[in-house]
Amino acid sequence: MELLVSSAIGILTAAGLYLVFRLRTFPVILGTALLTYAVNVFLFASGRLVVGAPPILIDGVETYTDPLPQALVLTAIVISFGMTAVVVVIALGAYLGADDDHVNDREGEFDEVRAREGRS
């Protein structure tokens, strides 16, 4: 079970980093989403993956599931959803305004656009 979870975390992290290093906005957004999923799975797995164990300490029970990582993951899911929605709207506005979705400005490209529009 641990091998499966750690492999999933590694694959999500690798795919997220690959997409973050792209030069387009929407793959970068998907990459950050995959990275947040990887961190959420890591936090969730740190709370002991025990099936059928109580979430608190009870007398006579030796194994328990820590509820703190579950609460942290639930909070992180809500925050990452809101963050992703805001970043998508900002990226969409930038794409519609510039007709391009590159993350970084290519050398001299902005100067050419300003010269074509008559601004200096």
Q: Which domain range does residue 35 map to?
A: 2-116
In the predicted model, what is the mean pLDDT of residues 42-70? 78
Structural domain count of the chain: 1
pLDDT at residue number 16 = 95
pLDDT at residue number 4 = 92
119 or 71: which carries more pLDDT confidence? 71
What pTM, to 2 d.p., does this model score? 0.73
CA nearest 75: which of 97, 43, 99, 105? 43
pLDDT at residue number 67 = 79
CA nearest 13: which of 34, 28, 33, 27? 34
Residue with tokens 């950050």: 32
Q: Say which residues have a Cβ less than 8 Å from residue 19's Cβ, sequence separation at least 6.
A: 27, 28, 30, 31, 34
In the predicted model, what is the mean pLDDT of residues 50-71? 78
SS3 content of the chain, % helix, strand, coil (to 5): 65, 0, 30
Distance CA 1, CA 9 (A): 13
pLDDT at residue number 116 = 66
CATH number, position 96: 1.10.287
pLDDT at residue number 111 = 61
